[in-house]
Chain A
Amino acid sequence: MIVVTYIYFFICLLIMLFTVGYIMYQYYRKQTDKKRIATFKSIIDKQLKSIHQDRPLAENHRKYLLDKLKHLNYLIAYHDALLSYQNHEDIKDYKGAIEPVIKQLVSYYAKRDDMEKAYISHFIATHAAGVWQDDVVYRKLFHYLTEPNVYLRENVLKAFYQQNNPEWIVKAYETLSSQHIDHHQKLIQDGLMRYPYDKRSLIEQLYLKRGCFSEPILLGIIGFITYETSDYQQLFYDWVKEDKLPLEVELKLYRYFKKYPTEQVKPHLLAMLSSQQDEKRTVVADVLAEYCCDDVIKALKIAVADSNWFVRRNASRSLLKTDVKIDDLMDILTGPDRYARAMLRYYLETEGG
């Protein structure tokens, strides 16, 4: 017993000493990071001056970078140094000139662990926009996509969003879907919104391939389209009428029609207000706020007394956003359904009619 405890004691003592040593190393690292950043800045300054005078980037600068940036701590310092030149007029030319270095670095980091691969992906995602477009870079990164590490996957996708060929993004989503690798819809949507090039052509390609994507990716894409364009009313209308559409996808499409209302979809929405599924009635009751006409008001008046609490709530709010007449409101406020009365009264007080 005592022997075992002594063994544990000494191992734990080593762990403690390692921790204390690590704290000291952190202090040391902060100082060396500062020095490295300063060194990189002075080197980059020289190259920027040279570029400004229409001279090419010095070959030995590329060699120096390739040699140094293979070391992670230098790559981190270089990344920080580059960030400080974001608004410099010649930085784009400078970054363009070091693309061959990046191509070699991506291959080099392919042999490193997931965290380092994720970091090189993050580095590319931060600096690639409009400058590093060579397929070699993204072909290499593509192999990281199927790793189980979510942070690596996210950083690789962020890098893809910074190159101007939508096919890479489509291909990445297809791969994730076919390999049943889940990536949160929120991450997909936010990522797509960072795409700095022609978003319409990206949307077109994504829409064309929609049948190949998993549900979270589809939801992310619909969210992105909803944020970006009203051009998809007709296509989404055709889509929403498809049979066997996953429920979440259908609901997300309905929400699109809240932001971009179209008369064409109104009969379908009204029909869905009588759906057997609570989720559909709830969402549609909310969407109908943007469709002001007598038949919508009539349907919402019925929905205010729905058996589902959320349908009643959304119908009350939507009703008040339409051109509802005071008589219609009085019908509910003096009607027999006390839940409908209470709900409508609250929203009349808080949001007005």
Chain B
Amino acid sequence: MNLIVQQFMNGIALFFIGYMILYTTYLFLSVLFGAIRLYDKDRMMRLNNELKHDYYLPVSVIMPAYNEEVTIVDSVKSLLNLDYKLFEIIIVDDGSSDETTDELLRAFRFHQTDRPIQTKIPTKAIDVVYEAKINGIKIMFIRKENGGKGDALNVGINASRYPYFVTLDADSLLQKNALEKIIQPVLADERVIAVGGMIRIAQCVKMTDGQVLDYHMPWQPIIGMQVVEYDRSFLASRILLDQFSGNLIISGAFGLFKKSVVLSAGGYQINTIGEDMELVMRLHTFMLNNNRPYKVKYQPEAICWSQAPGSVQDIMRQRRRWYLGLFQSLTAYPEMLTRFLKKPVGFISYIYYWVFELLAPFIEVFGIVTIALASVFGLLNVPYMIELFFIYTGFGVILSLTAFFQRVFTQGLKLHVLDIIKAFIMVVFENAIYRYILSFVRVTAFIGYRKKGKRWGSIKRVKQKNV
């Protein structure tokens, strides 16, 4: 019996060794490529290697909103101060039950119109359309029947006038040059069909007219740990995948898309939770299926400040949604594996998201169960296990701290000693505790899955500082 258990445990140990080597290699390559790219980018900026122009291509900024009465007005005002000469703003209220509409109508001089909107993508009915022109920027405010975020975005696409559109969450603030930066990859290469911007946590920044006045790491552990988590994701992993147009996610909080391609692919899906990831997956498969050359780019210089959940409950709800969105998007496009396995987006990105994002929490739980089993049978090598835990956590800490410092030098932030101390504390907690809590949240995400449908994710919003 013991021999069988030992053989079984050896097999599992081999599996975990392979898994850990692959994962640490991925993380290592992410940081390595991130460091090279960010250093290059900093040098490029210094040496004027950029496509800087007075006028860029016109873009439509689409801001879907649902119960955003706290932040919507500030978000729209922040858009009016952008360093961009030609854009329109389209706000789509997806049937909010709070004061979102009233707040907007009070803050801006809208007038009601009968603007005809072509239904390029079928959507729920539009109740009313308002228009205004402020600082020479056309703003359209559409109130519609509730249909979910994807449906609201589709209404925005239908109403948009320009060939490229930017999606922006209603709680987000764009940095002054964000639109300029996010359109630049399109000017560099016309094959670019989508560009993702960098998302940062708004609670630790003070901004005026789109300019960062002050930045500090927060003391609030929930926020602080998300700051370091975002840094690692946006300054390492996405840069690695960007080397071969392999990003499968462009955050709905800030991304740019070529409208004609999105329309050809059918617009946003309305019956999915992660409509942003689903769209990017569909764009990949659509272009590959049609043998059309394309690029999906990531632009870390285009910065959007978005509010992060501030309570444990909110973050659990958000991550549950993200996880289910990931599950829906990955399972909806198996051809990534069957037809496009030879493409890097298939054999690297798709497999990465399956193995290290979707299955990872289950593998981690399985690992814990195995440890317990090994302990029962007296097969557990405790010193080895402790060493493995420490080296692995230490590795995570180093990766996160590297991303933190990379952000400092790429964004020209002033570094305070207290911020470094806070970052160090947050990074340790994030790697030693927070990530395991999130794994638990992900494993339990499927409980109640069917009931959730296409509802909006809701987290408690707070008023932005000094907008």
Please name all residues of chain B whose beta carbon is closer than 8 Å to the beta carbon of A182 when the two chains form the complex. 189-190
B60 vs chain A, min Cβ distance (A):
15
Question: In the complex, what distance in Å separates the CA atom of A6 from the CA atom of B114?
Answer: 66
Given contacts A19-B402, A115-B44, A190-B55, whether A2 and B24 have CB atoms under 8 Å apart is no
Please name all residues of chain B whose beta carbon is closer than 8 Å to the beta carbon of A345 when the two chains form the complex. 114
Question: In the complex, what distance in Å separates the CA atom of A246 from the CA atom of B402?
Answer: 51
Query: How many A residues touch B, CB cutoff 8 Å?
Result: 47
Interface flag for B48 (CB, 8 Å)? yes
| Contact with A1, one of B20, B118, B402, B415 (Cβ below 8 angstroms) | B20
Interface flag for A342 (CB, 8 Å)? yes
Question: In the complex, what distance in Å separates the CA atom of A150 from the CA atom of B49?
Answer: 9
> Contact at A26–B47, with CB atoms within 8 Å?
no
Which of chain A's residues has its CB closest to B412's CB?
A: A26
Mark A16-41 against chain B: 1 for CB-CB distance below 8 A, else 0. Answer: 10111011001000000000000000
Please name all residues of chain A whose beta carbon is closer than 8 Å to the beta carbon of B113 when the two chains form the complex. 346, 349-350
Interface flag for A12 (CB, 8 Å)? yes
Please name all residues of chain A whose beta carbon is closer than 8 Å to the beta carbon of B408 when the two chains form the complex. 23
Question: In the complex, what distance in Å separates the CA atom of A204 from the CA atom of B8?
Answer: 81
Given contacts A9-B398, A16-B402, whether A155 and B48 have CB atoms under 8 Å apart is yes
Given contacts A118-B48, A182-B190, A187-B51, whether A346 and B115 have CB atoms under 8 Å apart is yes
Please name all residues of chain A whose beta carbon is closer than 8 Å to the beta carbon of B21 when the two chains form the complex. 1, 4
| Contact with B406, one of A19, A26, A152 (Cβ below 8 angstroms) | A19
Given contacts A20-B405, A343-B116, whether A12 and B28 have CB atoms under 8 Å apart is yes
Interface flag for B377 (CB, 8 Å)? no
Interface flag for B366 (CB, 8 Å)? no
A183 vs chain B, min Cβ distance (A):
9
> Contact at A19–B56, with CB atoms within 8 Å?
no
Which of chain B's residues has its CB closest to A312's CB?
A: B116
Mark B21-33 against chain A: 1 for CB-CB distance below 8 A, else 0. Answer: 1001101100110
Which of chain B's residues has its CB closest to A73's CB?
A: B46
| Contact with A5, one of B20, B51, B115 (Cβ below 8 angstroms) | B20
B30 vs chain A, min Cβ distance (A):
10
> Contact at B116–A16, with CB atoms within 8 Å?
no
| Contact with B190, one of A13, A149, A184 (Cβ below 8 angstroms) | A184
Interface flag for A93 (CB, 8 Å)? no
Please name all residues of chain A whose beta carbon is closer than 8 Å to the beta carbon of B32 when the two chains form the complex. 11, 15
Interface flag for A331 (CB, 8 Å)? no
> Contact at B398–A342, with CB atoms within 8 Å?
no
B236 vs chain A, min Cβ distance (A):
10
Interface flag for B17 (CB, 8 Å)? yes
Given contacts A115-B43, A346-B113, A346-B114, whether A19 and B49 have CB atoms under 8 Å apart is no
Question: In the complex, what distance in Å separates the CA atom of A151 from the CA atom of B43?
Answer: 13
Question: In the complex, what distance in Å separates the CA atom of A149 from the CA atom of B17?
Answer: 41
Interface flag for A119 (CB, 8 Å)? yes
Interface flag for B54 (CB, 8 Å)? yes
> Contact at B398–A151, with CB atoms within 8 Å?
no
| Contact with B392, one of A5, A155, A187, A310 (Cβ below 8 angstroms) | A5
Please name all residues of chain A whose beta carbon is closer than 8 Å to the beta carbon of B398 when the two chains form the complex. 9, 12-13, 16
Given contacts A116-B47, A150-B189, A346-B115, whether A2 and B388 have CB atoms under 8 Å apart is yes
Given contacts A15-B35, A182-B190, whether A5 and B116 have CB atoms under 8 Å apart is no
Please name all residues of chain A whose beta carbon is closer than 8 Å to the beta carbon of B115 when the two chains form the complex. 346, 350
Which of chain A's residues has its CB closest to B35's CB?
A: A15
Interface flag for A301 (CB, 8 Å)? no
| Contact with A151, one of B44, B116, B399, B402 (Cβ below 8 angstroms) | B44
SS class, residues of chain A in contact with chain B: helix
Please name all residues of chain B whose beta carbon is closer than 8 Å to the beta carbon of A119 when the two chains form the complex. 47-49
Interface flag for B99 (CB, 8 Å)? no
> Contact at A150–B51, with CB atoms within 8 Å?
yes
> Contact at B57–A186, with CB atoms within 8 Å?
yes
> Contact at A186–B415, with CB atoms within 8 Å?
no
Question: In the complex, what distance in Å separates the CA atom of A319 from the CA atom of B192?
Answer: 37
Given contacts A313-B116, A342-B116, whether A22 and B190 have CB atoms under 8 Å apart is no
Question: In the complex, what distance in Å separates the CA atom of A275 from the CA atom of B4?
Answer: 78
Which of chain A's residues has its CB closest to B384's CB?
A: A2
> Contact at B405–A8, with CB atoms within 8 Å?
no
Please name all residues of chain B whose beta carbon is closer than 8 Å to the beta carbon of A15 when the two chains form the complex. 31-32, 35, 402
Question: In the complex, what distance in Å separates the CA atom of A20 from the CA atom of B420?
Answer: 11
A186 vs chain B, min Cβ distance (A):
6
| Contact with B24, one of A8, A116, A313 (Cβ below 8 angstroms) | A8
Interface flag for A309 (CB, 8 Å)? yes
A227 vs chain B, min Cβ distance (A):
11
> Contact at B44–A19, with CB atoms within 8 Å?
no
> Contact at B114–A190, with CB atoms within 8 Å?
no
Please name all residues of chain B whose beta carbon is closer than 8 Å to the beta carbon of A151 when the two chains form the complex. 44, 49-51, 188
Question: In the complex, what distance in Å separates the CA atom of A244 from the CA atom of B51?
Answer: 33
Which of chain A's residues has its CB closest to B57's CB?
A: A186
Which of chain B's residues has its CB closest to A308's CB?
A: B118
Please name all residues of chain A whose beta carbon is closer than 8 Å to the beta carbon of B25 when the two chains form the complex. 4, 8
Please name all residues of chain A whose beta carbon is closer than 8 Å to the beta carbon of B406 when the two chains form the complex. 19
Given contacts A1-B21, A190-B55, whether A22 and B402 have CB atoms under 8 Å apart is no
Please name all residues of chain B whose beta carbon is closer than 8 Å to the beta carbon of A155 when the two chains form the complex. 48-49
Interface flag for B53 (CB, 8 Å)? yes
Interface flag for A280 (CB, 8 Å)? no
B285 vs chain A, min Cβ distance (A):
25
| Contact with B28, one of A8, A184, A313 (Cβ below 8 angstroms) | A8
Question: In the complex, what distance in Å separates the CA atom of A12 from the CA atom of B406?
Answer: 13
Please name all residues of chain B whose beta carbon is closer than 8 Å to the beta carbon of A44 when the two chains form the complex. none
Taking CB atoms and an 8 Å cut-off, the chain B residues in 150-202 that contact chain A are 186-190
Interface flag for B394 (CB, 8 Å)? yes
Question: In the complex, what distance in Å separates the CA atom of A235 from the CA atom of B406?
Answer: 55
A160 vs chain B, min Cβ distance (A):
16
> Contact at B395–A5, with CB atoms within 8 Å?
yes
- A8-B24, A184-B187 known; 11 other A-B pairs, CB under 8 Å? A1-B20, A1-B388, A2-B387, A9-B398, A20-B405, A26-B409, A76-B46, A150-B188, A152-B49, A154-B51, A216-B190
Interface residues of A (CB under 8 A from B): 1-2, 4-6, 8-9, 11-13, 15-16, 18-20, 22-23, 26, 72, 76, 115-116, 118-119, 122, 149-152, 154-155, 182, 184, 186-187, 190, 216, 309-310, 313, 339, 342-343, 345-346, 349-350
| Cβ contacts A to B, 5 pairs, < 8 Å | A8-B28, A19-B406, A150-B189, A216-B190, A346-B113
